[in-house]
Structure 1
Amino acid sequence: MLDGLGGTQGARETGSTPTYATADADTSELPRVAAESPRRTPSPQIPAVKRSRIGDLPMRVIYRVLAVGAAVLAVAVAVVVGFLTSGTPDQPGEERTGQIAAPSAAPPSPGPATTGPVSPEPSAPVSASASAAGSASPSASGSPSASGSPSASASPTASSSSSSSSPSGSAVSPDRSAVIAALADPRVPELPRDKKLGRLPGAADAGKRRLDDRRSGISLARLAKPWKVFGASPFSTRQVLPKAKGAAHRAMLVSCPVPILVQQEAKDTALLAARWTLNHHPKGGKITWTASQPIKDGWLLAYRVKYERKGKARSSMAAVAVTEGSGSKPGMLFVTIPDTQKKHWRAINTAVSSLRLK
């Protein structure tokens, strides 16, 4: 009989507990459900920025390039500056500041002596005493001995002091260092005592016309044929003879402002000018003096230049006259004639005696 508790009375009395059967059914693992991630919309591709090739280079390479560029620029600037500041030393009358340095024992290479600033001196007519009587034949002695002592050319004699004194207001060398340097040159011997230039052999070649040197403020004779006016540069005026066969250089008569540093004494200025003229004689030439005399407001030096030509001893007769003109520097007359044209040597007398102020 069922009781109110939903069971039989007997069963409740006995106190037995109802049992439940469980089914041992096979179970399978449930699949894991993964949350589906939302799909990303692909972003538009941005083109890669091109990197500079310079940025890819190592810094040491960049530094080297910069260093090379700086060096090239410095060299270019130096070349330009050197070109702009370089003078034209081969042109007479051009000036360089500074003193003349003593030359080495070996004869210096051709080139004009260093010059410095000078000022004009009083002008006066040049005396024609250059052609006065005296010894005519050049010295036959051998090559001059080298000497560094300037004792023989320290100053002109008393009779020439009036013509060789320093003009007032002119800028001249403060000392005799340039003269000492010239006398140290083995090509230049000490000056002799005053000696007038005698009549040289040959034709006088005198002409009736004259040439004006406006730069120097002087004038001189225009020699007759076969002399002819030639291109003046780098001089102010130039006359030449036709080049002789076998001659090492051409005979010429030129004028220009003195291309050297003006000295206190005109005799010293002429000495430096004569040394400078060796640049227009064959290489290896040495001077032998034949005349040294004062002229009005100046000085005259005549000399023979000895040299070798194809193993044979040759020579040229030459003369330098410096005088005060109306130019900014004293004027210089220079004439040289090789021994192959010896018949024209007397033209030296003509040229020197024709020197006048313009």
Structure 2
Amino acid sequence: MADVGDQIPSSDSPTTPFRKIVLPTDETVTVPRPPDPLAPLPPLPPPPPPLKGGLLARIGDVPIKVVYLIGAIIVTVLAVMLVFVIFSGDVPKDAQRTPRQVAPISPAPGASGSPKPSATAVPAVPKNLAYPQQAGTATVTIGTISDLATGISYPRLGLPWTAKSFAPFAIAQRVGKVAVPHTVIASAMLPGATPKTKPAKTADYRDLAVRAVNWSLRTQYPAGATLAWTGSQKVPVGKGWMLGYKVTYTVSGKQKTSQAIVSIHEVAKTKPAMLFASIPQSGKSHYRDLNTIVQGVRTL
């Protein structure tokens, strides 16, 4: 009978070496070696060779529209320069010595700044002088012109008077062609700067009427015009002053005259309203219409 110890199954001792396992050849795994950080970088590829012909070789890459646009700009600049070169000296010698004579343009009555004094000082205005009855037959009155821009109204006359737009006035009635001096009845605000305060005295309105007369001599008649007073009186209604005057001037070497009036009226503004009328001697058959205007002007 065997010993008990001989009954224990046999086993490998810890010191028994491991069995060697050999993988098949096709199952071998290769692990790449990590790059060496100190190794030099590979050289950069060489730059492409320059195009033959330099800048001209690149023109073919520009869109055709851009080429046309640049060409058009160059042609335009050259054309403008050529015009200046050709015509820069084409100025008549007479024009360089003598300024061109042009018809004067009447400044707008509302323009800023005080009116400049007339070339010829007007005579002292009478404190009171009744406006006379003019000769001739009055034109039929067909209505009323209400000038909302100035705040006054006055009679509207029938034919041959017609109401038209006529700068620098707000509204104007005229007869005949446009010529200096005009045949006109028109309204506007007082020319020049607005007074700092609204006039309070009758004498203030008389002074403003003289200012308007000076404006008319400077802008509505030939240079060198003079006057003689024909009337100086209060307006028929409200505050204001009316001046009548006969204007004398020279046209083409001949002395001529006009009958005129200026009527200044207090309105709901600091600057007063102005009614101006002038009829040259060629239209003396309409002189009586000045009486119609003087008596019929009102504030709105």
Which residue does the alignment assign to 1:261? 193
Residue correspondence of structure 1 range 1-358 to structure 2 within 5 A: 90-93=107-110, 95-96=111-112, 100=114, 113=115, 182=117, 185-243=119-177, 248-262=180-194, 264=199, 265-278=204-217, 279-295=219-235, 296-326=238-268, 329-358=271-300
Shift of the 89–277 alpha-carbon distance from structure 1 to 2, 3 Å rule, reads: closer
Shift of the 206–44 alpha-carbon distance from structure 1 to 2, 3 Å rule, reads: closer
Shift of the 337–47 alpha-carbon distance from structure 1 to 2, 3 Å rule, reads: same
SS in 2 for 1:222: strand
1:345, distance to aligned residue in structure 2 (A):
0.6
Residues of 2 paired with 1:284 and 1:229: CA distance? 30
Whether the 8 Å CA contact 2:120–2:224 is kept in 1: the answer is no
1:287, distance to aligned residue in structure 2 (A):
1.9
Whether the 8 Å CA contact 2:106–2:220 is kept in 1: the answer is no
1:191, distance to aligned residue in structure 2 (A):
1.7
Letter in 1 for 2:259: M
Shift of the 271–225 alpha-carbon distance from structure 1 to 2, 3 Å rule, reads: same
1:188-246 Cα shifts (integer Å, max 9, x gaps): 222234211011111221403011100111111001221111224331110011249xx
Which piece of structure 1 moves more, 284-293 or 249-258? 284-293
Task: Count the aligned residue pairs.
Answer: 195
Shift of the 43–325 alpha-carbon distance from structure 1 to 2, 3 Å rule, reads: closer
1:60-113 Cα shifts (integer Å, max 9, x gaps): xxxxxxxxxxxxxxxxxxxxxxxxxxxx982222x42xx63xxxxxxxxxxxx3
SS in 1 for 2:141: coil
Which structure has the highest strand share of the two? 2
**Which structure's relative contact order is higher, taking Cα pairs within 8 Å and 6+ residues apart?**
1
For structure 2, the 5+ residue unaligned runs are 1-45, 56-104
SS in 2 for 1:208: strand
Shift of the 44–351 alpha-carbon distance from structure 1 to 2, 3 Å rule, reads: closer
SS in 2 for 1:221: strand
Shift of the 308–206 alpha-carbon distance from structure 1 to 2, 3 Å rule, reads: same
Residues of 2 paired with 1:328 and 1:193: CA distance? 24
Alpha-carbon RMSD across the aligned residues, in angstroms, is 2.8
Shift of the 44–311 alpha-carbon distance from structure 1 to 2, 3 Å rule, reads: closer
